[in-house]
């Protein structure tokens, strides 16, 4: 006898072709019923026998769309049917409660759509906005949930007869595809010429190809915002650097395919898997020796490369094997997302604008990753990966807004034991980024029905993110908490791996310490919500305060002076009157890079450390250092290491070997300091976090040394170990304290 069953499917099940998939699956079982998007996922009603339902659910799990993720399935009986029902319908979406479902990240255009785009007899021949039920923009165009066309920026484009027919055909790939459109009814491009102001609507992408071939720089509107595009020729890249006042910061590249990439960079299997994934991130790869090396990635051994992820890219890459595709922004700001912004801000950096008329609801820069220790390490988490729900092992029952930190702006909401982080939003020292940060908090509140009952921010008294968190809490009359920056780093790694205690190593460039000094080389013992800072790098002066973060030569002089070596008179004065001291490993890397003559000025964040990593060669022995354990917290004394670096450099030792010795020393510091604490605490779990651990050589060496000694090692794999992980750490700390 047939019964009626209600099936609630939760997870990433909207915007991934899940309803069309369920309709087709029901058809293969000859079932009747209905499906609809709801605030908590997808609601399915099936009229069938129990054994048929079980078989249906097995097929659902095994054959679901590639971009779908099922977190939970709840089944309940609605009652016995007296007579058989017929037909299976997609019902109008409903919202009757709090949104708990997710929209997927933006999904790269699928192979089938790309194949169609290059078929001359196809209705979408060379149409750049081609998509289907399982690919195309999602998060970047979504304004509200449940996910339907009228709740996205596609609502301005009514479907033509052809598209509507596809949309209504159960056997069509575009059945209920909310982004479905064609040249007759969908978004379109226009090319705006810089010199004449002329608008070109006839084959604008084809004309753009001509302009790029002539050596012009194009500002291209994509899925999550604008990119600056040009050929990677030395004179053109030099011009782009001059226009953007970006003398050294590397550019990202887009390549036609993996085989093209292998012509100028090595690609292992994990890197290939990331490159071709639907997320299509920029992947940091080891370069060979291409002719444009010194202008695309000056002083580095790696280059960021991605594959095409939207129709427009595929049209361009049909004509060019490799292009520079870098963020279209004013330096320091997030990338431009509206046509008005681009016209106002990007003319100084490009020759022409390629604009389209679909609005971007949620701007997202390209994600940037590298593979280290056989894991993905995020350098920037955004398009293709956001939004993502990270399950936490404990829930306080509160809805937490964690506001992150400032240099890599990112916030998160936590509810019912799940963390939902925002995309990367740049340095919050810039007003435009601050405004976007606030707007996105409001957007998350709207999209996911988040109503914070508590706020957690960074303890830095000068951070915008902290003042915003305080204002937010005061306006709503809810509790407000502060968490020290480096502890948040450690809690972020603990959250990802479900840990409640560990030895934590937090290495980064800067962070406000509990003693008002600048921390960044910290060792903690963490047990639930309590902690002890048991060791740190010995303090040295920061001459000029924040100026020393931009000038590694100042930190080199400070370390040399502290080590008893002669330095410049003006730096001596600056050190003697330094208002703050630092334990930062990021600043130690700066000092080492300057002492070795690798980099004396950071023209972009992390430049000195990246160039030091790039020149390192060989497996060198560690330099001498000392762990002063006479009182708590222990002090890591590197004065002898600095003296040896200086002595060996002056004696003509190869810089590549000295750079390797320096990094081996830092890895030994991590190993030995942790081993002493393991003996004292009996904790055999270590978490590594902070921006310094984006260094592949250091992360892998630390992991190797600790693992050999029987210690479990964990690091960030789902959020960036830089400031983007701070929001996750803040949330998890609060969950543990309750």
Find out whether 320 and 256 touch, Cβ atoms under 8 Å.
yes
Residue 690 has a pLDDT of: 97
Residue 146 has a pLDDT of: 86
Q: How confident is the model over 166-175, as pLDDT tens digits?
A: 999 988 999 9
Q: State the chain's mean pLDDT as an integer.
A: 94
Closest Cα partner for 375 from 34, 714, 726?
Answer: 714
Q: Is 69 helix (H, G, I), strand (E, B) or coil?
A: strand
Residue 396 has a pLDDT of: 92
**722: confidence class by pLDDT, cuts 50, 70, 90:** confident
Dist CA 408 CA 458 (whole Å): 13
Half-sphere exposure of 4 (CA within 13 A, CB side): 12
Interval 128-156 mean pLDDT: 95
Residue 571 has a pLDDT of: 65
Interval 126-138 mean pLDDT: 96
Residue 79 has a pLDDT of: 65
Residue 97 has a pLDDT of: 74
For the chain, which residues make up each domain, given as ranges?
A: 3-90, 189-369, 385-499+725-737, 507-717
Residue 620 has a pLDDT of: 85
Q: Is 564 left (phi over 0), alpha (psi -120 to 50) or beta?
A: left
Find out whether 334 and 365 touch, Cβ atoms under 8 Å.
yes
Interval 208-232 mean pLDDT: 97
Dist CA 416 CA 602 (whole Å): 42
Residue 3 has a pLDDT of: 87
Interval 60-85 mean pLDDT: 81
Q: How confident is the model over 242-259, as pLDDT tens digits?
A: 999 999 999 999 999 999
Dist CA 244 CA 330 (whole Å): 8
Interval 345-349 mean pLDDT: 94
Find out whether 106 and 364 touch, Cβ atoms under 8 Å.
yes
Does residue 85 register a pLDDT over 70? no
Our CA dihedral for 656, 659, 660, 666, rounded to 10 degrees, sits at 180
**Domain boundaries 385-499+725-737, corresponding CATH code:** 3.30.420.360
Q: How confident is the model over 573-628, as pLDDT tens digits?
A: 676 667 899 999 999 999 999 999 999 999 999 999 999 999 998 888 999 999 99
DSSP annotation of 693 reads G
DSSP annotation of 30 reads T
CA distances from 21 to 16, 167, 527, 668 (A): 9, 13, 46, 53
Dist CA 131 CA 187 (whole Å): 12
Residue 723 has a pLDDT of: 72
Q: Is 60 helix (H, G, I), strand (E, B) or coil?
A: helix
Residue 81 has a pLDDT of: 61
**Domain boundaries 507-717, corresponding CATH code:** 3.30.420.40
Residue 153 has a pLDDT of: 97
Residue 119 C-alpha from the chain's centroid: 35
Q: Of 26-30, 96-100, 686-690, 706-710, which range is least confident?
A: 96-100
Q: Which positions ≥6 away from 549 have C-beta within 8 Å?
A: 509, 510, 586, 587, 590, 602
**391: confidence class by pLDDT, cuts 50, 70, 90:** very high
Q: Which tokens in the block code for residue 404?
A: 């992150």
Dist CA 38 CA 74 (whole Å): 14
Does residue 100 register a pLDDT over 80? no
Same fold yes or no, 385-499+725-737 and 507-717? yes
- Angle at 374 (CA atoms; ends 372, 376), nearest 5 degrees: 60
Percentage of the chain lying above the pLDDT 90 cut: 86
Interval 519-538 mean pLDDT: 97
**Domain boundaries 3-90, corresponding CATH code:** 3.30.70.100
Q: Quick one: how many helices (H) and strands (E) in the chain?
A: 23, 31
**Domain boundaries 189-369, corresponding CATH code:** 3.90.870.40
């Amino acid at each position: 006898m047939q019964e009626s069953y209600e099936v609630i499917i939760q997870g990433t099940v909207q915007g991934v072709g899940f309803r069309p998939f369920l309709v087709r699956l029901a058809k293969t079982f000859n079932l009747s019923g209905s499906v609809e998007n709801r605030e908590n996922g997808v609601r399915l009603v099936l009229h069938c026998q129990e054994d048929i339902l079980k078989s249906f659910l097995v097929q659902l799990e095994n054959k679901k769309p590639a971009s779908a993720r099922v977190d939970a399935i709840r089944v309940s009986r609605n009652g016995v049917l007296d007579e058989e029902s017929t037909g299976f319908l997609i019902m109008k979406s409903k919202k009757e409660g709090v949104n708990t479902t997710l929209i997927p990240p933006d999904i790269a255009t699928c192979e089938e759509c790309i194949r169609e785009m290059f078929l001359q007899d196809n209705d979408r021949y060379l149409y750049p906005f081609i998509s289907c039920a399982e690919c195309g923009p999602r998060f970047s165009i979504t304004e509200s949930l449940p996910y339907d066309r009228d709740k996205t920026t596609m609502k301005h484009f009514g479907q033509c007869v052809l598209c509507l027919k596809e949309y209504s055909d159960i056997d069509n790939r575009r059945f209920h595809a909310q982004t479905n459109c064609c040249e007759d009814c969908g978004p379109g491009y226009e090319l705006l010429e810089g010199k004449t102001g002329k608008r070109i609507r006839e084959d604008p992408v084809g004309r753009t190809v001509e302009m790029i071939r002539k050596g012009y720089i194009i500002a291209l509107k994509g899925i999550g915002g604008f990119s600056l595009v040009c050929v990677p020729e030395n004179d053109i890249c030099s011009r782009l650097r001059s226009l953007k006042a970006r003398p050294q910061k590397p550019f990202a590249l887009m390549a036609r395919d993996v085989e093209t990439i292998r012509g100028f960079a090595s690609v292992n299997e994990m890197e290939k898997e990331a490159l071709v994934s639907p997320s299509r991130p920029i992947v940091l790869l080891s370069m060979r020796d291409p002719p444009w090396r010194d202008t695309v990635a000056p002083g580095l051994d790696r280059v960021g490369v991605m594959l095409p992820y939207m129709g427009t890219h595929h049209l361009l890459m049909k004509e060019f094997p490799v292009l520079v595709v870098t963020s279209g922004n004013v330096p320091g700001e997030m990338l431009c997302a509206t046509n008005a912004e681009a016209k106002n801000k990007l003319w100084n950096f490009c020759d022409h604008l390629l604009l389209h008329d679909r609005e971007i609801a949620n701007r997202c820069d390209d994600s940037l990753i590298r593979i280290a220790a056989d894991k993905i390490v995020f350098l920037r988490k955004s398009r293709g990966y956001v939004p993502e729900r990270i399950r936490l092992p404990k829930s306080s029952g509160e809805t937490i807004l964690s506001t992150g930190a400032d240099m890599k702006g990112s916030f998160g909401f936590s509810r019912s034991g799940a963390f939902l982080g925002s995309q990367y939003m740049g340095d919050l020292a810039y007003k435009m980024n601050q405004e976007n940060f606030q707007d996105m908090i409001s957007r998350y509140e709207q999209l996911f029905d988040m109503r914070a009952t508590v706020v957690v921010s960074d303890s830095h008294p000068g951070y915008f993110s902290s003042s915003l968190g305080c204002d937010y809490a005061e306006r709503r009359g809810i509790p407000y908490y502060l968490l020290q920056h480096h502890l948040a780093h450690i809690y972020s790694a603990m959250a990802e791996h479900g840990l409640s205690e560990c030895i934590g190593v937090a290495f980064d460039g800067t962070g406000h310490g509990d003693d008002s000094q600048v921390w960044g080389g910290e060792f903690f013992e963490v047990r639930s919500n309590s902690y002890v800072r048991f060791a740190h790098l010995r303090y040295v002066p920061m001459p000029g305060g924040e100026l020393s973060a931009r000038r590694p030569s100042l930190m080199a002089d400070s370390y040399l002076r502290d080590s008893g070596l002669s330095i410049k008179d003006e730096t001596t004065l600056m050190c003697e009157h330094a208002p703050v001291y630092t334990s930062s490993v990021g600043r130690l890397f700066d000092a080492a890079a300057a002492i070795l003559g690798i980099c004396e000025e950071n023209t972009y964040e992390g430049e000195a450390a990246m160039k030091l990593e790039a020149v390192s060669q060989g497996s060198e022995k560690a330099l001498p250092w000392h762990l002063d354990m006479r009182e708590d917290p222990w002090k890591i004394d590197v004065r002898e290491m600095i003296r040896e670096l200086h002595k060996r450099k002056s004696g003509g030792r190869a810089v590549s070997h000295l750079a390797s010795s320096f990094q081996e020393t830092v890895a030994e510091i991590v190993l030995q300091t942790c081993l002493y604490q393991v003996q004292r605490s009996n904790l055999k779990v270590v978490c590594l976090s902070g921006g310094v651990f984006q260094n592949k050589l250091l992360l892998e060496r630390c992991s190797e040394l600790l693992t050999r000694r029987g210690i479990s090692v964990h690091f960030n794999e789902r959020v960036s170990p830089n400031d983007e992980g701070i929001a996750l750490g803040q949330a998890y700390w609060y969950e543990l304290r309750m």
